[in-house]
Chains A and B, each alone.
Chain A
């Protein structure tokens, strides 16, 4: 009994960690590309980050994490604060950052 509960717990944890995906953050104060460069720079220093996209129009910062990694909300908030901004919302999605980038490009045309 104890073994099966332990196994279930380990499997659930593994499933949570292994979930690779995209973290979409709505950010306040995102009005200047020159000033927002710190966001991309800071996230690229994080070993869990595979890709980053920033959109001033959508007030959006989207981060794609590497397979089997995630970034806790607290760390996301700290990164954005250090870059000079405030997070409004955080949402985890399955849309790859490349798809978000394409969507933003098509909207800009």
Chain B
């Protein structure tokens, strides 16, 4: 296990300990549910994922991640199969919290090489949600013999009102994201508006340097 992954797992355990009741853009919806997610990340990343959950605690599927370095223009196109697992869920009267972990493998195409290569990935998400507050920390690691990239995403959100089951939910989200492996320097900060109703979830906004950040999710 790489030092970065060990650090990631240790961080997740530490956060789970500090925040004993920790939930939303989840890789597992509900038993027999399918989740489709598409994200455009400020010109640096684009990702499409589809997962099916046979049970409430695990899902299987795959995705495609395109990374574009804003440092030297290098790009990575990673196509993968993935297994997601709900490590722990806390259902409380006014909150829900989750710890998810995942891992998978696939092929990567690098801009600096004409050959595809084997790549594996691992990650985790810790989240906490009430009807007014949302927080999540997600870390995704992609490794191959030529690269090592980690995407760490922190989201903090507040809802101006408590949504009801049949209503429209509105959230104001602040997102911070860091990349390793010379994809982007520093922390990418974005302000987003999250809206969902029924099976459709849309999140859109801009980074502090004016780039579009958007996410779309469907549960069925």
Contacts and interface: CB of A to CB of B under 8 A. Distances in A.
Interface residues of A, number: 28
A47 to B, nearest CB: 16
Interface string B108-149: 000000000000000000000111000000000000000000
Contacts of A36: 165
Interface string A26-68: 0111111111111101100000000000111101000000000
Contacts of A35: 23-24, 26, 29-30, 96, 219
Contacts of A84: 29-30, 56, 89, 91
Given A56-B162, A57-B162, A83-B56, A33 B31 contact: no
B76 interface: no
A30 B129 CA distance: 10
B91 A29 contact: yes
B23 A38 contact: no
A32 B96 contact: yes
Given A33-B167, A56-B164, A83 B30 contact: yes
B33 A33 contact: no
Interface of B: 23-24, 26, 29-33, 55-56, 89-96, 129-131, 162-167, 169, 196-199, 201, 219
Q: Of A39, A57, A84, which is in contact with the most chain B CB atoms at under 10 Å from its CB? A: A84
A13 interface: no
Interface of A: 27-39, 41-42, 54-57, 59, 81-86, 88, 108
Q: Of B91, B92, B165, which is in contact with the most chain A CB atoms at under 10 Å from its CB? A: B165
Contacts, number: 94
A39 B165 CA distance: 11
Contact of B196 (A31, A34, A55): A34
A59 B199 contact: no
Contacts of B26: 35
B91 A28 contact: yes
Contact of B33 (A28, A38, A57): A38
B163 A56 contact: yes
